[in-house]
Structure 1
Amino acid sequence: MKIRDFSFDLPDELIAQYPPEERGTSNLMVLDPRTGTVSHKNMQDFPDLIDENTLVVFNNSKVRKARLFGFSEETGGKVEFFLLEKISGKAWKAMVSKAKRQKVGKKYNFPGSLNGRITEEGGTNIRTVEFDRDIDDDYLDEFAHIPLPPYIKREDELMDSSRYQSVFSEITGSVAAPTASLHFTEGLIHRIKATGADVAYVTLHVGLGTFAPVRTENLLDHEMHKEEFYVSDETAEKVESAVKKGKKILAVGTTSIRTLESAWQNGELKRGTQYTDLFIYPGYKFKIVNQIFTNFHTPESTLLVLVSAFAGKEFIERAYKEAVEKKYRFFSYGDAMFIKENR
């Protein structure tokens, strides 16, 4: 299985650079794998497509302002530190720009009278940076930037601080948004509950594992990075009850899918903090997720591979081709797809 088999042609003008003017108004493509049919709706139609026999599971992780710019004490050059993971009170793992120049021992000045130095190299562009004091989310909210993905060809703006978060984001820890959640408003969630459907929340902090490119020609040689997730007692009880009653488990976003599929063990949803490096590709047998709400994903990505595993590679290829023809908006700020149960 080759990663190039999951490629497609996408005109640049279809890559959404901004969210829709109003949240919850995006186009919605509806796929029915059992009949092979595709229909075209709007997000406002979504609550009408589900019923009381459904549990909708969201990821409530909140995006951290993770892009921090420092200036080299030696040259004065500007360097971007994309903060990936807090290692200790003062030390962070980060992706750095101009990586070949960022060596162990180099020192930097950051906004807010913060200083730091590189203490370790790890991987092509990964460094450990130790600051001279503990930095928290309050500091990052003031001085750092929203980590918009590289295919959004602009600097982050004030509105991104709210629009690149879901309305139910709660627990800070992601370095990229679980973007399927961005489509939902409080009004849409209220209408979902009004159908008799129930909702539940898991927390998976989006890291390199979700968005790291596949660099191996053979798909199965790709290794996922571990990502942290958390399942509460309340959510576990809701999921276990829904499965026992034969209800549909509708996962919003690939992060929710991977969380549920990783935590489901021996007929139960394992509680607490856990880690997953689950890679879902064609041939994978889904344990409990039987409906998916998702965005349109980048070519040759693990996310596109995942939805292809669920709905069928040929069906997804046809749907994406139709999306291009009908000028759907793609990627993080783009339109949405609802895939009904495949069995």
Structure 2
Amino acid sequence: MLGSIPELDQTLQAYDYLLPETLIAQTPLVPRDRSRLLVVQQKAHQHQIFQDLVALLQPGDLLVFNDTRVIPARLLGRKVNSELAQPVEVFLLEPRQPRTWLALVRPGRRLKPGAQIEFGSPECPLLRAEVLATDEETRGRIIQFEPLVEQPFEDLLEQLGEVPLPPYIQDSTARPEQYQTVYAQHPGAVAAPTAGLHFTPELLARLQSQGINQARLTLHVGVGTFRPVETNDILQHNMHSEWVDLPAATVDAIRATKAAGGRVIAVGTTVTRALEGACQNGSLAPWQGRTNLFIYPGYQWRVVDGLITNFHLPKSSLLMLVSALVGRERLLALYEDAIAQQYRFYSFGDAMLILPEAVIAERSPDVAF
């Protein structure tokens, strides 16, 4: 990673802000594209509605979407051989091998290596899991699953699991499909790429009809995106890696957009990390692999020109990523105005569009398209 950041920007406290709990959105808007949109321009910003995106982008621009699909990653079971039939919650984070997952468990202190968990009714359990090891980095467990009936593990997961909502959503009437983007295709995420939740099929069609092109990639959102930054010096934070699939068609679309003078607009921070992570060697090419790229102020951008994003938690790596585009002080001032204007925050909240002319970050001079 190139560049350096001022000493003040390295402190975790520099990325803090106060948010009234009443502004944490508990339910999604219907229809999705009626959410508010804070539009960030070069020297000003304005308040609009998300469906106004059609007029805010230009023909020849390219929107890049993350088409990952959230899996039913939350499983409720019980510890085997427990006299009290102790309930257990398992939250899947990422696959390690077939039927073997890294997961968070509760209560963790009683689920040591060798412990077994069953899922389904006590009279007819459908799935069993064994704790193989403790993962020190995430404080989670490596768990191996074994179906107890003649059904594939993936089918049992769909039957027994729940699509998880973030912990700050406490009172929601949201249905599971409302925590999926309308273009979600490839299962594997444990949280939604929330900037995409604002799009409807009708809005996508209107954008396409105006010459605003669309491409897709896959980043399976995992613990890396939402793991809190816990070090006072943000440079000491280690991002957990997440799996990315950047297809050839999307690379071709980006190259064509750049060659024609168009702009690449990332729909969400996960798309941003995927595109920038795929271009760390100085050239953009089709790629499958894992990225642990941590973007913070001072980062030199390679691919992304603009960004659509939600409003993020204080002291989060996502807040640092957006700060790398427009500057930390300006971003916090924008958040202050959004709070004053009663914007809705976090996963089911409103959105922000950072237009390319608002980006103050330097661009890497050594990128080949």
Q: TM-score, normalised by structure 2?
A: 0.88
Query: In the alignment, which residue of structure 2 is the partner of 1:118?
Result: 131
User: d(CA) in 2 for partners of 1:50 and 1:210?
Assistant: 27
User: d(CA) in 2 for partners of 1:265 and 1:303?
Assistant: 19
Poorly superposed stretches of 4+, deviation over 6 Å = none
Query: In the alignment, which residue of structure 1 is the partner of 2:89?
Result: 80
CA offset digits 1:151-176 (Å, max 9, x no partner) = 11147x6x432110000000011010
Q: Is the 8 A contact 1:96 1:125 kept in 2?
A: no
By how many angstroms is 1:90 displaced?
2.9
Matched, 1:204 2:219: yes
Q: 2:114 aligns with which of 105, 112, 136?
A: 105
Bigger mean CA offset, 254-263 vs 237-246? 237-246
User: d(CA) in 1 for partners of 2:155 and 2:29?
Assistant: 28
Matched, 1:228 2:227: no
What RMSD, in angstroms, separates the aligned Cα atoms of the two structures?
1.6
User: d(CA) in 1 for partners of 2:134 and 2:276?
Assistant: 34
Query: In the alignment, which residue of structure 1 is the partner of 2:142?
Result: 128
Query: In the alignment, which residue of structure 2 is the partner of 1:169?
Result: 184
Unaligned runs of 5+ in 1: none
Return the letter of the residue paired with 2:14. Answer: D
Q: Is the 8 A contact 2:63 2:266 kept in 1?
A: yes
Return the letter of the residue paired with 1:132. Answer: E
User: d(CA) in 1 for partners of 2:303 and 2:339?
Assistant: 31
State the secondary structure of the residue aligned to 1:114: strand
Matched, 1:42 2:42: no
By how many angstroms is 1:131 displaced?
2.0
Q: TM-score, normalised by structure 1?
A: 0.95
User: d(CA) in 1 for partners of 2:153 and 2:182?
Assistant: 22
Q: 1:138 aligns with which of 142, 145, 155?
A: 155
Q: Is the 8 A contact 2:126 2:156 kept in 1?
A: no
By how many angstroms is 1:266 displaced?
6.2
By how many angstroms is 1:23 displaced?
1.5
Query: In the alignment, which residue of structure 1 is the partner of 2:352?
Result: 337
Bigger mean CA offset, 193-202 vs 174-183? 193-202
Q: Is the 8 A contact 2:75 2:89 kept in 1?
A: yes
Q: 2:305 aligns with which of 285, 290, 304?
A: 290
| Percent identity for Structure 1 against Structure 2 | 39
User: d(CA) in 2 for partners of 1:268 and 1:245?
Assistant: 18
Q: Is the 8 A contact 1:60 1:169 kept in 2?
A: yes
Query: In the alignment, which residue of structure 2 is the partner of 1:278?
Result: 293
By how many angstroms is 1:16 displaced?
0.5
Do the aligned partners of residues 119 and 135 (structure 1) sit closer, same or farther apart at CA in structure 2, a change above 3 Å counting?
farther
CA offset digits 1:160-204 (Å, max 9, x no partner) = 321100000000110100000000001111111111111100100
Matched residue pairs, number? 339
Matched, 1:67 2:74: yes
Bigger mean CA offset, 241-250 vs 273-282? 241-250
Do the aligned partners of residues 170 and 154 (structure 1) sit closer, same or farther apart at CA in structure 2, a change above 3 Å counting?
same
Query: In the alignment, which residue of structure 1 is the partner of 2:168?
Result: 151
Do the aligned partners of residues 93 and 261 (structure 1) sit closer, same or farther apart at CA in structure 2, a change above 3 Å counting?
same
User: d(CA) in 2 for partners of 1:251 and 1:272?
Assistant: 17
Q: Is the 8 A contact 1:28 1:40 kept in 2?
A: yes
Q: 2:277 aligns with which of 257, 262, 265?
A: 262
Query: In the alignment, which residue of structure 1 is the partner of 2:24?
Result: 15
By how many angstroms is 1:135 displaced?
5.2
By how many angstroms is 1:265 displaced?
5.4
By how many angstroms is 1:113 displaced?
2.0
Unaligned runs of 5+ in 2: 1-9, 361-369
Q: Is the 8 A contact 2:127 2:156 kept in 1?
A: no
Do the aligned partners of residues 295 and 143 (structure 1) sit closer, same or farther apart at CA in structure 2, a change above 3 Å counting?
same
User: d(CA) in 2 for partners of 1:48 and 1:183?
Assistant: 16
Return the letter of the residue paired with 1:58. Answer: F
User: d(CA) in 1 for partners of 2:281 and 2:88?
Assistant: 48
Do the aligned partners of residues 312 and 84 (structure 1) sit closer, same or farther apart at CA in structure 2, a change above 3 Å counting?
same
1:248-259 equivalence runs, <5 A: 248-259=263-274
Query: In the alignment, which residue of structure 1 is the partner of 2:14?
Result: 5
Do the aligned partners of residues 198 and 216 (structure 1) sit closer, same or farther apart at CA in structure 2, a change above 3 Å counting?
same
User: d(CA) in 2 for partners of 1:71 and 1:162?
Assistant: 27
Q: Is the 8 A contact 2:23 2:344 kept in 1?
A: yes
Query: In the alignment, which residue of structure 2 is the partner of 1:30?
Result: 39
Return the letter of the residue paired with 1:336. Answer: A
